[in-house]
Chains A and B, each alone.
Chain A
Amino acid sequence: MTKIKTVADLKRIKDEVQSKIKLRENSDHPEQIVQVKVGMATCGIASGAKETMKYFVDELEQQAIDAVVTQTGCMGYCYAEPTVEVTLPGKDAVVFGYVNKEKAEEIIDVYIKRGELIDGVIPITFKTIDD
């Protein structure tokens, strides 16, 4: 371990290690940040939900967007898998279907970053256990 010799050192270390628990910090106040839930039931996984989720986690991290990406169970739209539910701070949740890598990129660029709706929204017709 290298010694921390100045306050600036300390701050630098803090920035370095912050990502370690950022997930925990963010999920402590999920309502203040972007929440992304990826349907990860058998149908979702078969349709590539794992890759989609990984893409969200990596991309949001890379673009320094404070977000919490969680997995959730089957949302009932097995025909449209992978499905992703996105909640922007202060807004209702929106569910997108057929989210492959390209769609995910679009969701991040257009909906998450600019707040503009895009195609592929599935109307929500049920409640999750979290409601």
Chain B
Amino acid sequence: MTDYKMHLLICGGTGCKAAESDEIKKSLKNWIDELGLEDDVQVVFTGCFGFCEKGPIVKVMPDNTFYVNVKPDDAEEIVKEHLLKGRPVQRLLYTDPVSKKAISDSKGMNFYKKQLRIALRNCGFINPESIDEYISRDGYMALGKCLGELTPDETIKEIKDSGLRGRGGGGFPTGLKWEITRNVESDEKYVVCNADEGDPGAFMDRSILEGDPHSVIEAMAICGYCIGAENGLVYIRAEYPLAIERLKIALNQAREYGLLGEDILGTGFNFEIDIRLGAGAFVCGEETALIHSMEGLRGEPTFKPPFPSVSGYLGKPTNVNNVETFANIPVILNKGASWFSKIGTEKSKGTKVFALAGKINNVGLIEVPMGTTLREVIYDIGGGIKDGKGFKSVQTGGPSGGCLTKDFLDTPIDYDNLIKAGSMMGSGGMIVMDEDDCMVSIAKFYLEFTLEESCGKCSPCRIGNKRLHEILENITNGNGKEEDLERLKLLSNVIKDTSLCGLGQSSPNPVLSTILNFEDEYLAHVNEGKCPAGQCKALLKYEIIEDLCTGCTLCFRNCPVGAITGERRQPHYIDQSLCIKCGVCYEKCKFNAIRLS
């Protein structure tokens, strides 16, 4: 076996792959071969590093040099300068936005400083297509320990003691769920991994499956051992081709090693895992809908009870956990419940992965201990608001979470605190908004999403959300009335109170939380016909400032609808009844003579 002196880790996550990381890898490999370094340098395609804002990422080990925004053409310089001569390529290093200093070692980057990677422990570190690399990181040791040393009850106790709660959004104690499923008598049971990640902008589960698929496989087998199931199913959306491919490779490797199949590790325990593809319906993240979809039925939720633990897939007891929950399991069993339960807050143990998005400098995937404040996440890890703008709101919990104001920035993140603050944990979406975002439009945007994704089964969600959306549409179009706010609240509360599943029970949250936290903005829309953030087109007005207009006719010539009139060298005028608010005149004017109001 060759002992490589250097390892070159290239991000093979979906984001970086989209930015040609395949090409970068090929090019690096070519130069390494060209210069005869193939015995010294190992090139590894890994899962996501999380720092997607600056992708593609290439990391050189052992010196932890972290290259950002790498292009295929940079390969030559990296190999010739760094690998051959030991001189890091300065221009590809990450520059700290505050100190403006280049940071070579990723350990020195604020983005990583406050993170604690448990679920993502192997992402960006190992080759996800190598079971050996997983095993070398204690992979399948937890399974071995359970099968060899622990009874199912002891294993479940360990999970319960760890305090792990479901990472899919509900936050139900994982150990308890396993115990309930274990205690139901049945000839057949199922373990289901929910990989139907559907929140807009979220990719926690995708990254885990792309970067560390074996951790999920191992955990599912452990779960099977605990609850008495011999079959596992991963329900994954078909829009995740890379995750599916890596998962398939991992499943085959596990089978070849005998870590899946019959008589695993000679203990007589049998376990197999199949993949079921979902068609990308958000509601199928709800476990009963997911199960129906797997059964070939319409993906819509049914009333609980019976819970899947009692009657799930094909009517058999079924334990459904999401990807991130499973990814935590092997670590907990290897390091012990007490190690895990020391991390986090009183009722929320461990870490949580978030997909940071929106108007933030460091868009990406992060994992922080529960109890980290929103401020730390947004400013320290996230690098603050883009373009130096002011922070306005952060939305957690996916499309049905709430929008929190700056007053909540010092809230330690955990299940209960977020609910108390009027939002929720959800599966880990976190979207930051700046002063340019109109909160009415934001609420409308989220509602558009739930409207599309509602299964249409229950009336409040099917029709109620539509009506909410229409009222919001009216408001952003300038046709709102003050009493609409009361109507929105009333209807929102009934939808929450009467909907069948979690989707409808939470879909009005963005409406309620924006009304609660940004009532002024709503009132400005309905009473003054103004959008303070300047986002609602219908409420905007383009006007020509006479004193500044030189009569150059540029705006007149560019207006697509002929709404601008005026003589040469005379101030021009915009006919508001014709203006379609396209903004062309505003962009074309060289004299700043066009005002937006």
Contact = CB atoms under 8 A, between A and B. Distances in A.
Interface of A: 1, 3-7, 9-11, 13-14, 17-21, 23-28, 30, 38-42, 45, 53-54, 57-58, 61, 68-73, 129-130
Given A18-B136, A57-B3, A72-B86, 13 more contacts: A4-B265, A5-B266, A10-B141, A10-B265, A13-B135, A14-B138, A20-B133, A23-B61, A24-B126, A30-B64, A70-B6, A71-B86, A73-B85
A130 B103 CA distance: 8
A128 to B, nearest CB: 10
A59 to B, nearest CB: 11
B259 A40 contact: no
B86 A10 contact: no
A4 B105 contact: no
A17 B135 contact: yes
Q: In the complex, which range does the number of interface residues on chain B fall in?
A: 35 or more
B62 A26 contact: yes
Q: Helix, strand, loop or mixed for chain B's interface?
A: loop
Contacts of A23: 4-7, 61-62
B47 to A, nearest CB: 14
Interface in B75-98: 84-88
Contacts of B253: 1
Q: Helix, strand, loop or mixed for chain A's interface?
A: helix
A31 to B, nearest CB: 9
A42 B136 CA distance: 36
Interface string B253-284: 10011110000011000000000000000000
A74 to B, nearest CB: 8
Contacts of A26: 62
Contacts of A14: 135-136, 138-139, 141
A14 to B, nearest CB: 5
Contact of A6 (B63, B139, B265): B265
B225 interface: no
B137 interface: yes
A57 B5 contact: yes
**4 pairs of A and B residues whose beta carbons are closest in the complex:** A27-B62, A71-B86, A3-B258, A17-B132
Contacts of B139: 14
Contacts of B136: 14, 17-18, 20-21
18 contacts: A4-B257, A4-B265, A7-B148, A10-B265, A14-B141, A18-B136, A21-B136, A23-B62, A24-B61, A24-B62, A25-B137, A27-B63, A30-B62, A54-B5, A70-B63, A70-B86, A73-B85, A73-B87
A10 B105 contact: no
A21 B125 CA distance: 9
Nearest to A71: B86
B86 A21 contact: no
Contacts of A18: 136
Contacts of A68: 62
A7 B85 contact: no
B61 A17 contact: no
Contacts of B266: 5-6
A58 B3 contact: yes
A6 B251 CA distance: 19
A56 B104 CA distance: 24
B147 interface: yes
Contact of A40 (B85, B135, B140, B257): B85
Contact of B7 (A7, A24, A42, A57): A24
Contacts of A21: 7, 125-126, 133, 136-137
B502 interface: no
Contact of A130 (B61, B104, B258, B265): B104
Contacts of A69: 5, 62
Given A10-B135, A17-B135, A3 B257 contact: yes
Contact of B86 (A6, A13, A25, A73): A73
A41 B62 contact: no
Interface string B115-144: 000000000011000001101111111001
Contacts of A11: 141, 144
A100 B61 CA distance: 24
B8 to A, nearest CB: 11
A53 B5 contact: yes
Contacts of B265: 4-7, 9-10
B561 interface: no
A3 B148 CA distance: 17
Contact of B62 (A45, A61, A70): A70
Most chain-A CB neighbours within 10 Å: which of B86, B132, B140, B256? Answer: B86
